[in-house]
Amino acid sequence: MEVKKMSIFKLGWPIFIQSLLALCLGYADTLMITHYSDTALGGVGNANQILGFLTLAFTIISSATGVIVAQYLGAKLKDKLSEIYSLSVFFNLALSLLVSAIVYIGCDIILSLMRVPDGMVVDARNYMQIVGGFMFLQALIDIFSQIFRNNGKTKIGMFISLGMNIVNITGNYIFLYGPLKHLELGVRGVALSTTISRTVAVVFAIIYFKYKIDGHISIKYLKPFPMDTLKKLLKLGLPTAGENISYNVAQILILAFVNSFNSTVFTNTKYACSILSNFAFLYSVAAASATAIIIGHAVGANEYDYAYKKVLKTLKSGMIISVSIAIFNYIISPITLDLFKLDSASLELGRQIMFICIFLEIGRTINLIVIYSMRAAGDVKFPTYLGMASMWGISVLVGYILAITFDMGLIGIWIAMAADEIVRGIVVFIRWHKGNWRNKSVVAKV
């Protein structure tokens, strides 16, 4: 079956599971270490926020690879795919090795700039130096995931994520509570488990590629070096990654606002609520990713009307389901927040934030589905410009005013983030309806 004719469900449910498992990989570290050390929750949380931002450097190429692969397959032009696969893998590997070295060497400087509370610095450093020092593994996972997805083989990523979680959780148990607990590695043991699980994932990704993908990865495709292809990948990938980078820079600044209160209540509540709210949009992420794959193939085949209707159909179901999950998340929040061993003040604050997340989810669902599809169609610059304006003008500026000037704390920050998502959602929906994304296929430009 042609990928563009596959159902959203068939493509999307493995992505849903993969996204869930990806969240669990980091959160398993946090939840399991919470019972080991009082300061570990905030320390690992801060480290993951920083590392999550740095991994965005790898999406510059991986996101562009996904768009080009989908459109080339839709246009039935496969002759250049091996060159694109090879260039993407080797370029991301080189870039990520550089970033890994920077994180390992400059860990203390980064934590200082983030104003991580003194009591959490040691745990954050121990986690960052190990996981961050091996960030190149995640860069390779990102590239292979895009290749598998846009070839319509979304189950492969799901199986790899499942294996990563099994290895990670098993390793956490062994280092924290099992046979190797006498080593008292604590956060370092958790970081080692994460790194080992990613190593296993890369090995299996290479094996899956060899036997499941019609293409090759070899240095021979880089001789002579395809500079024109690299330039065009960067031209497409930089704007695509720009919105995510802007979002995460804004989130890091917001985290700095939270840390400036020097309050364990605020820091731990912020991280716990971020984890819980992430589960609310998993369906939208899966639906958006599956839709983007179809849109890429459809645009490559010049079937624009089909692409337009597919997005609107996905948006209707995505809105109903994701908002329903957010409401359910709010209802059970007294139970789920208690899993983080928060005190009574944090529990009450967290419940108020989970209520605001219902409204945040309305805007975020539109953004995910429509913007993913715009990127897949080749319309990559507009979401970046809009995202930068809205995130900094609303999330950061309004968030600062509400949280600090009006002393609303985390409540003010979450209100600003919800407003940001809703405003952007309205704008991108109008753009999709007007059809500004049409005739931006990258097949003719690459």
Write down the pLDDT at residue 307. Answer: 94
* Least confident among 23-27, 335-339, 355-359: 23-27
The pair of structure tokens assigned to 360 is: 């945040």
Q: How far is CA 400 from CA 251, 286, 288, 392, 413, in A?
A: 12, 32, 30, 10, 7
More confident residue, 262 or 141: 141
Q: Which of 181-195, 358-372, 393-407 has the lowest mean pLDDT?
A: 181-195
Q: Residue 362: its pLDDT value, please?
A: 93
Output the pLDDT for position 103.
Answer: 87
Dist. CA 13–CA 16, nearest whole Å = 5
Q: What is the pLDDT of residues 279-293, one digit of tens each?
A: 777 888 899 999 999
Token duo for residue 17:
């599971």
Asked whether the beta carbons of 348 and 334 are under 8 A apart, the reply is: no
224 dihedral zone (left: phi>0; alpha: psi -120 to 50; beta): beta
Of 54-63, 158-167, 310-319, least confident by mean pLDDT is 54-63
Work out the angle at residue 333's Cα, subtended by the Cα atoms of residues 9 and 339, and round it to the nearest 5 degrees: 100
Per-residue pLDDT at 416: 94
Reported confidence tier of residue 59, pLDDT bands at 50, 70, 90 = confident
**Amino acid in the structure at residue 278:** N
How many whole angstroms separate alpha carbon 354 and alpha carbon 375? 30
- Determine the pLDDT at residue 26: 61
The amino acid that residue 330 corresponds to is: Y
Tell me the mean pLDDT in the region 237-257: 80
Average the pLDDT over each of 31-40, 179-188, 395-404 and give the range with the smallest value.
31-40
Q: Can you read off the two tokens belonging to residue 336?
A: 């789920």
For residue 38, the model assigns a pLDDT of: 65
Between helix 409-434 and helix 227-260 the angle, nearest 10°, is 150
**Domain segments of the chain as ranges:** 3-434
